[in-house]
Amino acid sequence: MIYLDYSATTPVSYEVFDTISKVTKEFVGNANSINALGRKSASLLESATKQIADILGINTSEITYTSGATEANNMALIGVAMKYHKKGKHIITSKLEHPSIYAICDYLKSIGFSIDYVNNDSEGLIDFDDLKNKIREDTILVSICAVNSETGVRQPLKMIRQIIKKENARTLLHSDMTQAIGKVPVNFHDVDLASMSAHKIFGPKGIGFLYKSSMVSIAPILYGSGKSNELKPGTPPLPLIAALSKALRLALNDLEKKERFVNLLNEKIVNNLSKYPNILINKTKYSIPHILNISIMDVMPEVMINALDKYEVYLSTNTACSSGEVSHSIMAIYDDLKRAKHTLRISLSYVTTTDEINKFLNIFSEVYDSLKIVK
Amino acid sequence: MKKIIIIKYAELSTKKANINFFLKALKNNIDNALTCNHIISYDRGRMFISVSEENIDKTIDVLLHTFGIHEIVIGFIDEDRTFEVIANNVLDLIKTQEFKTFKVETKRSDKEYPMDSMEVSKKLGSVILNNKECRVDVHNPEVIIHIEIRKDAILYYTNGIHGLGGYPVGTLGKGLLMLSGGIDSPVAGYLTIKRGVKLSALYFESPPHTSEAAKDKVIKLARVLAKYNPNMTLYAINFTKIQEAILRNIPYEYLITIMRRMMYRIAEKIANSENSKIIVNGESIGQVASQTLTSMSVINSVVNMPVIRPVACFDKLEIIDIAKKIGTFDISTLPYEDCCTVFVPEHPVINPELNKCIEYEKLIPYEELIDEAIKSKQVIKIKEEEKIFEDIL
């Protein structure tokens, strides 16, 4: 098997699996109970949260566990909207977001908020002038992802924040950091709110968190009991939380070395595929090496995926969350419908081997050549 | 060019004859707090710490929790003293810094160096102006670029980070902090440590009226203080029998007054046993009934030792500001009852009378109970941030 869909999800690493199993067996108490078993669980919860906070340079009280990035995005966007709707109903996002952001924005639009989509330049970078012009007195939130899930384009959040705060100091900045964390360095102090998910960093599915700066207050979207967090009531899923903490620690070990290695793999693929005139490499100078998007102009991408399945080579069309649709991001960057309909996403990880890439390139060339002939 | 950490001393410059005592203590405190390999050297003006590049952040964090430091500066040292190298190094140094105005200040301890200080400053100034968009401001610069020409090397540094000030911990002797789970006492402890006092802490628990969680909370608070006051000892006193005796025998309005008098007695005995010269607590004038001037005087009268109340004259909000700054606020506000909050009379006496206290106390065999409580005290060695669950996380 050659798995090249790490940006859709990752397998759970052995170390993390070990944590899940140990915590499930040994920590039976509810972290909200005051008895000794509950305290033992609460103590682990606290240590796990502290480890995350220390690694990321934030406070423990700024972390709210969620079921993943989609839930965190909901909490952030709807939470800001509900809290500040009297101050303004204007929200800005980009054309390079995860589908969940668009779905939430559509909902907010349906209840009276106005949504603006900021343009980007031909390299995928947010158009700073356009952003500046779109910010208004009543803009309560800007949501821009740290790394685009289809093209890997990375946004300069610090600069974006500076522009926003200069235009309207009250406008908050949220960033979906799911595709950035564990791949490239991120700084949570560049944003007011951020989302992430464990299953992209060799952690389990079903857990992620929302970062909310302690300087910011938002309205909860969930109500219930449980003292551990004001935004997320209920019993904390301790095995998943401990697993998230461990996965994050492991992911951020030697981050730069891992990134350099993935870059070598990325370049190898790019060099090889560049020889095909009908394959376009959708890579800009701001793309991170872990996500490599290409457009195969003379073969339908679904057909390519199906054919590769037989060889146990796994990749995606655009993103797992919007498979089969026109790629928004490629449209936004290249403004070319055909190119946007023909995308394939090859996503790499530091666990990918050079050998796997060599095999992949051979299989790819065989499959591609055979499909071209069919056409 | 090699990185070096430079420390400028806090209030120590007012010490004359015994400054070496303070500097030695500061060096020892840093020595003990650093877990990585390091070399420390110092003179009366500054202290230099060399650690490997990857340990610099960790070292700075330690120094940011060490009293006796006015400023922490990351400097560079280079043995090559030729002007071209100096100029390049300076450009390297300011590459990542953002400023609009600057000045260069050169010190030349090696008087045989071919250029004098003024000349070096002037020439470096023009090198910087040619390479960066900025201007010279000799009166109020955003950044001062310091160059020191020494016999063996050139030392470079710019603006530093503010240290905590105060005196090196331990230089002023020992004290015992009455540490509850509240907001005030950890702040009182912090302020006392700042003045160079090495602290132990004393906690009263009343199981089952108070919970293990409440004790954990106090241990956590002690752990925060231990960052500034390493190797802290926490004494946990089981106060249940005394508290129950008071509840059963003493008029309700005097409950808190008598309880505090018992706590003071125990505190003094423990302080004496470990050679502490003072008792420290978080009382603040007027905050609660036991903290009126009359109450303080009636309670204080059971001990002969000085009782230091660093936050006596602070408003609650001022105390909270410090608690947030040092990281105890979020722990203190966890919702667990402690000894002082678990039984509170509806109308505690605001102006207790000493005579009544003495009469009431005759109703309980308190000396016996106190001795018993002290005998069974639990001694907890507080280590800074224990690595728990290492195997899981």
Reading the block at residue A294, the tokens are 């290409």
Q: How many whole angstroms from its chain centre is CA B45?
A: 23
Write down the pLDDT at residue A56.
95
Q: Is the CB of residue A260 less than 8 Å away from at least one CB of chain B?
A: no
Residues of A in contact with B388 (CB under 8 A): 43, 47
State the best of A47, A252, A256 to mutate against chain B, taking most chain B CBs within 10 Å.
A47
Give A135 or B113, the one with higher predicted confidence.
A135
Q: Is the CB of residue A191 less than 8 Å away from at least one CB of chain B?
A: no
Give A243 or B333, the one with higher predicted confidence.
A243
Confirm if A177 and A145 have CB atoms less than 8 A apart: yes
Give the confidence band of B386 by pLDDT, cuts at 50, 70, 90. low
Give yes or no: A145 in active site.
no
Write down the pLDDT at residue A230.
85
Percent over 90 (pLDDT), chain A: 90
Residues of A in contact with B57 (CB under 8 A): none
Give the confidence band of A320 by pLDDT, cuts at 50, 70, 90. low
Q: Is the CB of residue A85 less than 8 Å away from at least one CB of chain B?
A: no
d(CA A274, CA A343): 15
DSSP β-ladder status, A139-143 and A172-176: parallel
Instruction: For B174-382, give the CATH class.
Output: alpha beta
Write down the pLDDT at residue A374.
65
B159-170 pLDDT, tens digit each: 888 999 999 999
Q: Is the CB of residue A52 less than 8 Å away from at least one CB of chain B?
A: no
Reading the block at residue B314, the tokens are 């602070």
**Are the Cβ atoms of A242 and B335 closer than 8 angstroms?**
no
In this predicted structure, the answer to whether residue A227 has a pLDDT above a threshold of 80 is no
Buried b (16+ CB within 10 A) or exposed e, B286-307: ebebbbbeebbebbbebbebeb
A134-138, B40-44, B354-358: lowest mean pLDDT where? Answer: B40-44
Residues of B in contact with A59 (CB under 8 A): 330
Buried b (16+ CB within 10 A) or exposed e, A328-339: bbbbbbbeeeeb
Pick the CATH number of A14-252 from 3.40.30.10, 3.40.640.10, 1.25.40.10, 3.40.50.920: 3.40.640.10
Selected catalytic residue, list A321, A326, A361, A371: A321
B306-333 pLDDT, tens digit each: 999 999 999 999 999 999 999 999 899 8
B212 to chain A: nearest residue by CA? A36
Are both B2-164 and B174-382 of the same fold?
no
B211 to chain A: nearest residue by CA? A34
Q: Is the CB of residue A245 less than 8 Å away from at least one CB of chain B?
A: yes
Give the confidence band of B387 by pLDDT, cuts at 50, 70, 90. low
Domain boundaries defined on chain A: 2-9+254-374, 14-252
Nearest Cβ partner for B392 among A22, A59, A60: A22
Nearest Cβ partner for A47 among B211, B216, B389: B389
B244-258 mean pLDDT: 93
Give the confidence band of B389 by pLDDT, cuts at 50, 70, 90. confident
- Given CATH 3.40.50.720, say whether it is the number of domain B2-164: no
Q: Is the CB of residue B274 less than 8 Å away from at least one CB of chain A?
A: no
Q: Is the CB of residue A362 less than 8 Å away from at least one CB of chain B?
A: no
Give the confidence band of B235 by pLDDT, cuts at 50, 70, 90. very high
In this predicted structure, the answer to whether residue B14 has a pLDDT above a threshold of 80 is no
Are both A2-9+254-374 and A14-252 of the same fold?
no
Domain boundaries defined on chain B: 2-164, 174-382
Q: Is the CB of residue A23 less than 8 Å away from at least one CB of chain B?
A: yes
Q: Is the CB of residue B61 less than 8 Å away from at least one CB of chain A?
A: no
Confirm if A232 and A222 have CB atoms less than 8 A apart: yes
The sheet that has A343-347: what strands, in order across it? A279-281, A291-296, A343-347
d(CA A3, CA A308): 11
| Chain A contacts in chain B segment 165-224 (CB below 8 A) | 211-213, 216
C-alpha closest to that of A334 among A15, A157, A7, A95:
A95
Q: How many whole angstroms from its chain centre is CA A294?
A: 19
B140-181 pLDDT, tens digit each: 998 999 999 988 889 999 888 899 999 999 999 999 999 998
Write down the pLDDT at residue A262.
97
**Are the Cβ atoms of A44 and B389 closer than 8 angstroms?**
yes
Task: Judge if ipTM > 0.85.
Answer: no
Write down the pLDDT at residue A324.
59
A248 to chain B: nearest residue by CA? B393
Write down the pLDDT at residue A188.
96
d(CA B21, CA A201): 52
Give the confidence band of A228 by pLDDT, cuts at 50, 70, 90. low
Q: Is the CB of residue B313 less than 8 Å away from at least one CB of chain A?
A: no
In this predicted structure, the answer to whether residue B15 has a pLDDT above a threshold of 80 is no
Q: What are phi and psi of B376, to 5 degrees?
A: -95, 20
A54 to chain B: nearest residue by CA? B385
Nearest Cβ partner for A242 among B216, B388, B393: B393
Residues of A in contact with B213 (CB under 8 A): 34, 39
Query: pTM of the full predicted structure?
Result: 0.76
A16-59 pLDDT, tens digit each: 999 999 999 999 999 988 888 998 999 999 999 999 999 999 99
Q: What mean pLDDT value characterizes chain B?
A: 91
B46-89 pLDDT, tens digit each: 899 999 988 888 899 999 999 999 999 988 899 999 888 999 88
Residues of A in contact with B389 (CB under 8 A): 43-44, 47-48, 242
* Contacts of residue A133, Cβ cutoff 8 Å, sequence gap at least 6: none
Q: Is the CB of residue B92 less than 8 Å away from at least one CB of chain A?
A: no
Give B198 or B339, the one with higher predicted confidence.
B198
Give the confidence band of B44 by pLDDT, cuts at 50, 70, 90. confident
Distance from the A108 Cα atom to the nearest Cα atom in chain B, whole angstroms: 34
**Are the Cβ atoms of B388 and A246 closer than 8 angstroms?**
no
Pick the CATH number of A2-9+254-374 from 3.30.950.10, 1.20.1250.20, 3.30.559.10, 3.90.1150.10: 3.90.1150.10
A140-155 pLDDT, tens digit each: 999 999 999 999 999 9
Distance from the B355 Cα atom to the nearest Cα atom in chain A, whole angstroms: 42
